[in-house]
Structure 1
Amino acid sequence: MSMRRRVLGQQGEDLACLYLQDKGYVIRERNVRTRHGEIDVIALDGRTLVFVEVRTRTADAYGTAQESITWKKRQKLRELALAYLQRQTESFPSFRFDVIAITCPLGKVDGVATKIDHIEYAF
């Protein structure tokens, strides 16, 4: 992955966390890595644990950010979430998967030219 894409992705995740916090979510963890993959953001929405996949794009020429989350990626996120839940000492009454799709046409997250789509219960 190029440095430019990595920086754009990190900026997108930062923006997604600010967006979620503005909506009242509590960010528990970011970039939870295992040998099998990574969960971008884990947050609490009330008592619901939310696993958030963040996708940042500069254009939709190759499909939208939402469309880039394939069946295989969804399955991997389910497996990562299950592993995460099994390691926790506290229990959660419910959990869900959300997607935050960020489009920033200028190639940088500047807050003005940025569009944020939050899809709750995405899969």
Structure 2
Amino acid sequence: MRAKDTLGQRGEELAAIFLTAGGIEIVDRNWRCPDGEIDLVGVDGETLVIVEVKTRSSLDYGDPLEAITPAKLARLYLLASRWRRASARHYPAFRVDAVSVLDNGSGAPVIEHLKEVAL
């Protein structure tokens, strides 16, 4: 496995732990369909939460959240509707969140959670 993939998986696991500690129940991970992939799917009360996780080992290439482009965000909203149709569960509301993980492996990772990222 490539170092980038290992870092990404670690970031998703750290994000899941962080979100769970904040009261969001993780109900799906790495859900895929022909249109793309959702990193994490969570539930916050009665709200479905689609989570994009961006992990970096440094800021050399910018803040992790800068990698969420308008096109990526639009795809996440599309994927949210696909997941909702594929799931047997019903949620009255949904939102798209983003989590950045900055983890250089030498100390505690820095995690930032942005709620309700809008188009």
- TM tier, shorter chain? over 0.9
1:71 corresponds to: 70
Structure 1's unaligned 5+ residue stretches are none
Shift of 1:61: 2.0
Q: What's the C-alpha RMSD, in Å, of the aligned pairs?
A: 1.4
Shift of 1:31: 0.3
TM-score, structure 2 as length reference: 0.92
Q: Which amino acid aligns with 2:61?
A: Y
State the SS of the aligned residue for 1:14.
helix
Shift of 1:85: 1.2
Shift of 1:52: 0.3
TM-score, structure 1 as length reference: 0.89
Shift of 1:59: 1.5
- Alpha-carbon separation, structure 2, partners of 1:26 and 1:95: 14
Identical counterparts, % of pairs: 36
Q: 2:117 aligns with which of 103, 114, 122?
A: 122
- Alpha-carbon separation, structure 1, partners of 2:88 and 2:102: 37
Can you list the C-alpha shifts for 1:27-59, whole angstroms capped at 9, x where unaligned?
100000112210000000111110000000112
Q: Which amino acid aligns with 1:67?
A: E
Structure 2's unaligned 5+ residue stretches are none
Runs of 4+ with >4 A deviation? none
